[in-house]
């Protein structure tokens, strides 16, 4: 693999994807290969979060979405969940000031009301501190599920019908997108999934209708900025027709 500068120089800055979404996968397998507890993999994976957010911001990506914790992840052992929540708190406390100084806006996709009190409070603090920032939007999908998001949107739409704010006849894809967590954002142009898996895992099911996918066998803790640049270059070499010719 070329060095980061060499790969980065091949990127067409005028054809950047507006929105990149990443399914961060493989932390547990990374730790298992090294005979370490799974949370060691999550800790190493958080280092990649810092690196990839920085790289995406520097290159000029407008929206970056990271799948951090799904609604299904509550099925994992309690010690792993507790470890993940501690890592989340450590990350926010360590990186919030830098994110804010870089004009990055933190947005959450998912229902954070179900998080333990400390991580929930730290997330709310991060949202409040960065809410007026105008640079890259960093979406963190936290207690997120694509099906839940769609059902939530339907319920909100029905409430607005009951209140007379909107009618059934008004419903179309553009209107419904305003009832999703990604309201006001472009749909992801590029979905990246490391670790060798090739499935969606209940991620952004409505928004990815015309997203391009890029897969890698690299486990997330080994995913470096070089891989991000490779994905972007591959995306730029594709022909996106959106159903046309």
Catalytic residue among 14, 27, 39, 73: 73
Quick one: 15-145+187-236 is in which CATH superfamily? Answer: Decaprenyl diphosphate synthase-like (3.40.1180.10)
pLDDT score of 1 more than 70? no
Catalytic residue among 3, 10, 14, 25: 25
Instruction: Report d(CA 204, CA 76) in Å as an integer.
Output: 21
Domain range list for the chain: 15-145+187-236
pLDDT score of 15 more than 80? yes
Active site residue 222: no
User: pLDDT digits over 53-65, tens only?
Assistant: 999 999 999 999 9
pLDDT score of 93 more than 60? yes
Tell me which DSSP letter residue 76 carries.
S
Instruction: Report d(CA 77, CA 206) in Å as an integer.
Output: 30
Going by C-alpha positions, the residue among 135, 154, 141, 153 that lies closest to residue 115 is 141
* Cβ contact 64:56 at 8 Å: yes
Active site residue 73: yes
What sign results for the dihedral spanned by CA atoms 219, 220, 224, 227?
positive
pLDDT score of 4 more than 90? no
pLDDT score of 133 more than 90? yes
pLDDT score of 242 more than 90? no
pLDDT of residue 244: 62
Mean pLDDT score, 110-131: 97
pTM: 0.94
* Cβ contact 65:21 at 8 Å: yes
């Amino acid at each position: 693999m070329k060095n980061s500068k060499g790969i980065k120089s091949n990127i067409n800055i005028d054809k950047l994807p507006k929105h990149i979404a990443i399914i961060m996968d493989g932390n547990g397998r990374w730790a298992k290969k090294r005979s370490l507890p799974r949370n060691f993999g999550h800790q190493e994976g958080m280092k990649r979060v810092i690196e990839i957010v920085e790289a995406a911001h520097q290159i000029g990506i407008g929206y970056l979405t990271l799948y951090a914790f799904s609604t299904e992840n509550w099925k994992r052992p309690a010690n792993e969940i507790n470890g993940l929540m501690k890592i989340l708190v450590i990350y926010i406390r360590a990186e919030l000031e830098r994110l804010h100084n870089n004009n990055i806006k933190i947005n959450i996709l998912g229902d954070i009301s179900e998080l333990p009190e400390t991580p929930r409070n730290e997330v709310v603090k991060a949202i409040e501190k960065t809410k007026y920032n105008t640079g890259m939007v960093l979406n963190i999908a936290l207690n997120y599920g694509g099906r839940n998001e769609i059902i939530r949107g339907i319920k909100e739409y029905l409430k607005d019908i009951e209140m007379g704010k909107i009618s059934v006849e008004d419903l179309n894809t553009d209107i419904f997108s305003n009832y999703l967590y990604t309201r006001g954002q472009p749909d992801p142009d590029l979905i990246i999934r490391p670790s060798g898996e090739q499935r969606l895992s209940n991620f952004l099911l409505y928004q990815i209708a015309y997203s391009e996918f890029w897969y890698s066998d690299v486990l997330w803790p080994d995913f470096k900025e070089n891989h991000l640049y490779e994905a972007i270059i591959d995306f730029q070499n594709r022909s996106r027709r959106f159903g046309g010719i």
